[in-house]
Structure 1
Amino acid sequence: MEKSFEKSQLKQWELFRATNYFTLMWPSFLLLKLHGLFPYKIIITRFVLSKIGYSMTRIIVILYILLLGFILYHVNISTALAYDSVPGTLQGHSYLLLGWLLAIFYYSYYNKRMNLLDNIAKVSSKIPSRLFSHLSKIIHTKDLIGFLFLMAQSPNIFSSNPLLIANKFLILYTTLIVYFMDMLYMNCVLIIGACFEDINEKLIKLKFNIDRDEPHMLRRIYHVEHNSVIVTDVQLIMKEHNEISDLVNELNHTFSLQLITTVIMTFAEITFSLYFYILEMVGAKEINLEKQLWYSYFITSVTYYAVKLTTMVWACERSKSRAMETGIVVHQIMNNTVDREIIEELQLFSLQLLHRDNRFIARGLAIDALLLTSIVGGITTYLLILIQFLVSSNSCATEVTKIPNSTTAPLQYTTIK
């Protein structure tokens, strides 16, 4: 009879001491399940769609959309939650609508996500436990700090106005949905990077064996026996590398729309938060802080989104560098061996590396360090545009106040000569 992972292996799970894929990802899966975002159950080493979990996810998405419509009604029609300025209105609507898109994407891609998690579990089963132990210190720390930071903002939900409570609850849940989805993506990227790291370690060990046994390769019997073993090892490594590269492509297709929406949301939130912070510094108030979820709104909001995006880019850069190291090690082995058969096999491996683009891309948007520089430049540009509109609107208002009233100011005529 099949045993579920929750019952059979939960007792073996320890924080920061993961030994396999499931113990490594268990905190992420638990947080997703508690918030109705994990409609799967784990049977031994496979992910299976849970009817109860899927129904719960569908109900939560429907309730989320209904609450979103309720809040938008009171913002735009009844104006009970109307924003104080045009920038505030743009910020609020963009955040809620992008959160709604993310919820739809998460619900729509549940089947692809299950297949991806299942394939990662199969491929990562070949990784030694020490790599999982090292990853657990990074992943568990990152996930817990981010979750506790967001939950620390939850007391700010309570207010004397029930509509404000509903609005802040919707904002908090939207923020949690975005964080959990980004957290799952970063964890998958780091695990794929660990798979590439395992490939590199196997190649380095193979290079050491070839360098050590190269003087004996002139012996014909030893050459035939040892050469076949090395060629077999290279073929197995090539097969593993091909499977990991397929995982990268599957990951890009599964999370592409989510990543684009997350990047847009991060860009918008940092831009508007910095704009409102500048207004507060000069004494102008165009946003009601009582409607905001965050404590110390501007600093905490900008810090959270900046750190989250930087961590996401770091995870992608880390895994991409592991993938690029594979080609370097392969060519080092080719330069250090004289065996023709091994060289030919390594050349095939090198050709495979050229045809596999192991970058983390979302519909053409590369998640790398260049993205950070582009976002910083874009934020600076739009901040200047918003400030110019503010200055021009203030100058226009000043000119209007200087125009004399037509009932009090006499008309003056001039004679044209």
Structure 2
Amino acid sequence: MYLNFTISKILGLFPYRIKTLSFEISKPRYILWMIILCVTCVNELIMLYKLNLSKNIKIDVPKLISINFSLMYGMFVAVNSYILSGSRMRLLQNISGISSILPQKTYQKLSKLIHAKDIFGFLFHLWIALIYILYSELMIFGLLEGTRIFVSLIAFQTDMLYVNCVCVLKACFKEINNNIETLLKLVKKNIPKWIYHEQRHPFLLIKLKTLKKHHLMISDTVQMMNAIFSLYLLATIALCFLQIVFYMYFNVLYWQNGICLNTDKIYSINFISFLMYYGMKLILPVWACETSKNQAIKIGTTIHDVINSTSDVQIKNELNLFSLQILHCNNTFSAKGFTVDATLLTEVSD
């Protein structure tokens, strides 16, 4: 996640100092983030005042509602990031600890995925910012528009941080499932009975207890993520759906005015790029949460396969305890009661 951390440091969003595998609050960065927060909130309030109380800006009602929601979302993102900076530090510390179970090969694959996603996302966001600057109709606040671009970049980096954390947890769930599948292969082998009890039996029990402990730590981290990111996810999902609806509405009006996308290339690029931007902000977290949840569910199925394949009483008891632990652990990612998975998209679409 170092790319995400580096960009966040540049933005002043990362008030931490990394020492080996630990995170500590950095006072200079924390003060910098406080200054950035104050400047951002003041600029957002000025834009809200100009938009709603000043008579200098005159736009239609749907666009007025859309910009108001965007400005309020920007203030919420900045304040929420500042308030929960300590909680996020503890979350990153936990994820750093539980990811130690991952082998080097898994680390490399996960690192490539996360870095590719972060690089593409950052470059795409720069492209959106360039379009926003070049498309003069969007620039209604003058120099204050720089604050809106800055806040959107903060929100996007927060999205990437959330998706990265979920991907790490998914890899941890997958590693536990792989270890249980290895255990299943050992159980199915035709090992002489005296060798099995003297050598394999203690090893398998110790391995199971270790996997139970790791699974419980991962489940606790999932609940911590839900507590930290719930409000942010809810606001982001609401904003994405709202902006997609408004952009589609503006596009219909554009067609009704006799203007076609093919004759206005600038508008066409703007329309498609912003739809892709909000769609990506919505789909990436849903994809990460859905695949992670499925990986967590798969562990229970694998455990029952091992139970059905072994006749050892102690191993069966330990596996049953593991199965009960999985039933009591809720490893779904949610935002204030709304489960973040594929069903969220289908329900809202309906």
TM over 0.5, shorter chain? yes
Equivalence for 2:28: 52
| Residue 296 (1) aligns with residue 269 (2) | yes
| Residue 363 (1) aligns with residue 340 (2) | no
CA, structure 1 residues 170+135, in 2 after alignment: closer, same or farther (shift >3 Å)?
Answer: same
Deviations 1:41-71 (A, max 9, x none): 1011100000011011111010000111121
In the TM superposition, what is the alpha-carbon distance from 1:80 to its structure 2 partner?
2.4
CA, structure 1 residues 262+284, in 2 after alignment: closer, same or farther (shift >3 Å)?
Answer: farther
Equivalence for 1:97: 72
What SS does structure 1 have at the residue aligned with 2:101? coil
Match of 1:310 among 262, 283, 302: 283
Count of paired positions: 342
Equivalence for 2:43: 67
| Residue 279 (1) aligns with residue 253 (2) | yes
Q: CA RMSD in A?
A: 2.1
What SS does structure 2 have at the residue aligned with 1:153? helix
Deviations 1:5-47 (A, max 9, x none): xxxxxxxxxxxxxxxxxxxx10010011111100001011100
Equivalence for 2:201: 227
- State how far apart, in whole Å, the 2-side matches of 1:55 and 1:149 are: 30
Amino acid at match of 1:202: N
Matches within 5 A, 1:184-203: 184-203=161-180
Asked whether the 8 Å contact 1:276–1:298 carries over to 2, the reply is no
- State how far apart, in whole Å, the 2-side matches of 1:100 and 1:128 are: 40
Unaligned runs of 5+ in 1: 1-24, 286-292, 378-417
TM-score (norm 2): 0.93
- State how far apart, in whole Å, the 1-side matches of 2:176 and 2:129 are: 43
Unaligned runs of 5+ in 2: 260-265
Matches within 5 A, 1:117-132: 117-132=92-107
- State how far apart, in whole Å, the 2-side matches of 1:327 and 1:35 are: 42
- Structure with the bigger RCO (C-alpha within 8 Å, sep 6+) is 2
In the TM superposition, what is the alpha-carbon distance from 1:118 to its structure 2 partner?
0.4
Asked whether the 8 Å contact 2:139–2:145 carries over to 1, the reply is no
In the TM superposition, what is the alpha-carbon distance from 1:147 to its structure 2 partner?
1.0
CA, structure 1 residues 189+284, in 2 after alignment: closer, same or farther (shift >3 Å)?
Answer: same
Asked whether the 8 Å contact 2:205–2:315 carries over to 1, the reply is yes
TM-score (norm 1): 0.78
Percent of aligned pairs sharing the same letter: 35
- State how far apart, in whole Å, the 2-side matches of 1:294 and 1:146 are: 22
Deviations 1:257-316 (A, max 9, x none): 11011011101110100000011011179xxxxxxx998332211121112211211111
Amino acid at match of 2:99: S
Equivalence for 1:181: 158
Equivalence for 1:332: 305
What SS does structure 1 have at the residue aligned with 2:192? helix
CA, structure 1 residues 123+152, in 2 after alignment: closer, same or farther (shift >3 Å)?
Answer: same
Equivalence for 2:263: none
Equivalence for 2:242: 268
What SS does structure 1 have at the residue aligned with 2:310? coil
- State how far apart, in whole Å, the 1-side matches of 2:150 and 2:15 are: 18
Equivalence for 2:262: none
Matches within 5 A, 1:76-115: 76-82=52-58, 84-115=59-90
Q: Which has the higher helix share?
A: 2
CA, structure 1 residues 265+162, in 2 after alignment: closer, same or farther (shift >3 Å)?
Answer: closer
Equivalence for 1:320: 293
Larger Rg: 1
- State how far apart, in whole Å, the 2-side matches of 1:247 and 1:308 are: 23
- State how far apart, in whole Å, the 2-side matches of 1:73 and 1:339 are: 72
Asked whether the 8 Å contact 1:87–1:272 carries over to 2, the reply is yes
